[in-house]
Structure 1
Amino acid sequence: MTTAAEFFAQADALPFAPLEQVLAPGGLVVLAPHPDDESLGCGGLLAAAAQAGRAVAVVFVSDGGASHPRSRRYPRLALRRLREAEALAALAALGLPAAIARFLALPDAAVPGAGADFEAAVQAILDAARAVAAGTLLATWGQDPHCDHEATDAMAAEAARRQPGLRRLAYPVWGHRLPPGTPIQGGPPRGTRLDVSAHLPAKRRAIAAHRSQTTRLIDDDPEGFVLDAAMLARFDRPFEIFLESAA
């Protein structure tokens, strides 16, 4: 049995590979359960892909509207609009145009793992993949301890099943917060690391663009979500982890 502590110690020591080996030939589709996951988990890769001239699409799965449920200044629709604007600012910081973004606006904290809305999301992902002639589909890790991340992984798995030939990879966001002894399905990590040291300044700007999640911009909900210093430090490293997804 591989525990969470063992898994992430091993993931932090995976071999490095250049971008052209991490990604398959062709375009790239990134799935972000919430606006900010893309910047945290693969902002460096996105900046590198932009610099390399890769065709990219980023699909934001949820509306991000549940992070500050008690705010009166930012009720759900206003928060959704704010987070979409932040996402576009983050993409710009990574060298990517607003036109690559697709917002599915599924309910934050209730992204479906089955049913009609799930099917529509899978179709939207496939449409995005075809639009950029994608060779790689990148989504959050299925064992991240968040229901929306699990649902997004399920969407990626279904899209890859329907479009054979896509390389499906995963980037962990919340997995390192699992209790150290948690058993990890599938055993030790398989995958690579990408050196993103040259893109750290852009990644930092992208993360900072998500002001509603990194600062007290929304100050009328004391219990509203804000990324803590330890979480931000976790992603302020000169490499990113990309895991091979189970079939």
Structure 2
Amino acid sequence: MRADAFLAAADSLPLADLDALVGPGGLVVVAPHPDDESLGCGGLIAAARAGGRDVRLVVVSDGCGSHTHSALYPPDKLRLLREEETRRAVAVLGMDPDRASFLRLPDAHVPSEGPQAEAAAAAIAEVASACAAGAVFVTWRHDPHCDHKAAAAIVALARRQRPGVRIYEYPVWGWTLPPETEVGPAPEGLRLDVSAFQAIKAKAVAAHESQVSDLIHDDPTGFRLEPAMIERLCGPYERFVAVAE
């Protein structure tokens, strides 16, 4: 199926509540970079916390690839900044910041296989066990970013250790794929109505100041989220593509 048709179909997935989406127990959001959790799952996190569910976040990479030429924010300082931004963002969404963990794999070089990937998978499986997760959410395997693809592969490895846990993928950069890109069969999965949480989701995204503002102003090559991208991802619904076992 072409990417444009796939994403249009994802926009029409059946609506479901948290019970139908997650089942009993908590949930784990896996983000390749600090900010993906807010962009792709901010409404889910807020809704789950409002419902009293245990929510955990695992951020896979160190996020240091966003500004590689900044003297004000060399890698160690940038990593700490992005982790603090993530803690502020999840607090906005109602989540305990201490329930966010950071694997600190190298941004733009997250492995899909091998010892580091297996260790990351074991860490995710452990987090899922700690919150009795009914579901794990990770970026879409066809997102056009190597770390997003790798995160999906790592969660597939983690599934072997947590059989029976539902796995969903959420598009972030998938919306930028060339429309003719082939991405496999039509999506199955569910949508979640997050309209009640749109405002706090937008506030959580804004907490990632290094990615949405000129906070880091000494790197002309630095990354910045476009307003249109934020608007696209902060609508009234979030889409979750089910991954078959």
Separation of aligned partners in 2, 1:146 and 1:110 = 10
Separation of aligned partners in 2, 1:98 and 1:184 = 35
TM-score of the pair, normalised by structure 2: 0.98
- 1:120-168 alpha-carbon deviations (Å, 9 max, x no partner): 1111111101111111111111111111011100111111122111011
Letter in 1 for 2:118: E
- Determine if the alignment matches structure 1 residue 235 to structure 2 residue 233: yes
The gaps in structure 2 that reach 5 residues or longer are none
Separation of aligned partners in 1, 2:228 and 2:131 = 35
- Aligned position for 1:161: 160
Contact 2:118 2:157 in 1 (8 A): no
- Aligned position for 1:148: 147
Letter in 2 for 1:5: D
- 1:44-90 alpha-carbon deviations (Å, 9 max, x no partner): 00000101111111000000001000000001111000000000000
CA RMSD of aligned residues (A): 0.8
- Aligned position for 1:220: 218
- Once structures 1 and 2 are overlaid, which stretch shifts more, 114-123 or 76-85? 114-123
- Aligned position for 1:131: 130
Separation of aligned partners in 1, 2:14 and 2:122 = 34
Separation of aligned partners in 1, 2:228 and 2:40 = 14
The gaps in structure 1 that reach 5 residues or longer are none
Separation of aligned partners in 2, 1:64 and 1:183 = 29
- Aligned position for 1:77: 76
1:192 aligns with one of 186, 190, 193: 190
Separation of aligned partners in 1, 2:62 and 2:209 = 16
- Once structures 1 and 2 are overlaid, which stretch shifts more, 108-117 or 41-50? 108-117
Secondary structure, in 3 states, of the residue corresponding to 1:105? strand
Letter in 2 for 1:52: G
- Aligned position for 2:40: 41
- 1:181-203 alpha-carbon deviations (Å, 9 max, x no partner): 11112x11111110000011110
Once superposed, which parts of structure 1, at least 4 consecutive aligned residues long, lie more than 4 Å away? none
Separation of aligned partners in 2, 1:136 and 1:18 = 13
Secondary structure, in 3 states, of the residue corresponding to 2:16? coil
Secondary structure, in 3 states, of the residue corresponding to 1:162? coil
Letter in 1 for 2:205: I
- Aligned position for 2:27: 28
Letter in 1 for 2:161: R
Separation of aligned partners in 1, 2:41 and 2:234 = 11
Separation of aligned partners in 1, 2:62 and 2:24 = 31
- Aligned position for 2:182: 183
| Equivalent residue pairs, number | 245
- Aligned position for 2:51: 52
Q: CA deviation at 1:246?
A: 3.7
Letter in 1 for 2:28: V
Secondary structure, in 3 states, of the residue corresponding to 1:218? coil
Secondary structure, in 3 states, of the residue corresponding to 1:109? coil
TM-score of the pair, normalised by structure 1: 0.97
Secondary structure, in 3 states, of the residue corresponding to 2:142? coil
- Aligned position for 2:169: 170
